């Protein structure tokens, strides 16, 4: 019962769907008609996704503040073999949404001497699997599909990184990446909770 409530009322925002429907009906729109139902769905979905994105960006940005590139590099450097690939893939889930943000970090990891397979597990996982996609998928398709998506994404990231490692493709990495400036892995100072919250809020504001 509790999970159904979370699925329908919190993630699915059924209350918002009902509220939008009542408001449109009060304005004289027949929400059971083709046009009315389309308008109803559009308004409801736009508001729902906007709310979810704001919350997700805030939460993910707050979590990301604990994992600057240098700390992630140190964590991955403690592991070896497939365990390192798994850790790299998992760390990819708490990085920014797209590969545009992950590539500079990937360059920093590579230039710092991390195994190429581990860095590729991170690079594959980062844009494919993240907390945002997990919550959005849960709100739209349900927990089962969301979990399957995340598990499959992590498996692909680990398998891809392991394959690249086994094929010894280090020589295929461009020299400018191996010799990338270390500025992509600047140590981030420890932040108090207030500054982390401000950082997360600023990320939400800058997105919109």
How far is Cα 126 from Cα 103, in angstroms, rounded to an integer? 10
Q: What are the pLDDT digits (tens) for 25-62?
A: 998 888 889 888 999 999 998 898 888 878 877 887 78
User: Mean pLDDT across the stretch 184-192?
Assistant: 55
Comparing 1 with 97, the larger pLDDT belongs to 1
96 pLDDT above the threshold of 60:
no
In 147-183, which positions are buried (b, 16+ CB within 10 angstroms) versus exposed (e)?
Answer: eebbeebbebbbebbbebbeeeeeeebeeeeeebeee
> What are the residues whose beta carbons fall under 8 Å from the beta carbon of 136, sequence distance 6 or more?
49, 52, 56
Comparing 19 with 206, the larger pLDDT belongs to 19
Comparing 157 with 98, the larger pLDDT belongs to 157
Write down the pLDDT at residue 186. Answer: 42
Write down the domain spans for the chain: 1-65, 66-190
66 pLDDT above the threshold of 50:
yes
How far is Cα 193 from Cα 202, in angstroms, rounded to an integer? 14
Lowest mean pLDDT among 38-52, 67-81, 169-183: 169-183
Query: How far, in Å, are 1, 97, 114, 153 from residue 146 at the CA level?
Result: 19, 16, 31, 11
How far is Cα 179 from Cα 140, in angstroms, rounded to an integer? 43
90 contacts 131 by C-beta, under 8 angstroms: no
How many Cα atoms occupy the beta-carbon half-sphere of 207 within 13 Å?
Answer: 18
- The number of residues in the chain equals 208
CA neighbor of 206 nearest in space, from 45, 102, 54, 52: 54
Max alpha carbon distance in the chain (Å)? 67
How many Cα atoms occupy the beta-carbon half-sphere of 61 within 13 Å?
Answer: 19
95 contacts 109 by C-beta, under 8 angstroms: no
208 pLDDT above the threshold of 70:
no
Q: Both tokens of residue 101?
A: 């943000």
165 contacts 115 by C-beta, under 8 angstroms: yes
């Amino acid at each position: 019962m509790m999970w159904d409530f979370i699925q329908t009322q919190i993630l699915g925002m059924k209350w918002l769907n009902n509220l939008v429907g009542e408001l449109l009906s009060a304005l004289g729109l027949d929400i059971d008609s083709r046009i009315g139902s389309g308008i109803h769905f559009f308004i409801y979905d736009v508001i729902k996704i906007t709310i979810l994105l704001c919350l997700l960006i805030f939460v993910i940005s707050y979590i990301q503040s604990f994992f600057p590139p240098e700390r992630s590099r140190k964590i991955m450097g403690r592991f070896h073999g497939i365990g390192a690939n798994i850790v790299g893939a998992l760390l990819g889930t708490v990085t920014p949404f797209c590969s545009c943000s992950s590539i500079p970090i990937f360059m920093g990891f590579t230039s710092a001497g991390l195994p190429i397979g581990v860095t590729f597990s991170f690079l594959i996982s980062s844009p494919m699997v993240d907390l945002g996609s997990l919550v959005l998928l849960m709100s739209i398709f349900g927990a089962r599909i969301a979990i399957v998506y995340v598990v499959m994404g992590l498996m692909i990231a680990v398998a891809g990184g392991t394959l690249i490692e086994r094929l010894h493709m280090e020589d295929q990495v461009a020299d400018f990446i191996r010799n990338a400036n270390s500025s992509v892995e600047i140590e981030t100072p420890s932040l108090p909770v207030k500054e982390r919250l401000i950082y997360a809020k600023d990320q939400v504001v800058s997105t919109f």
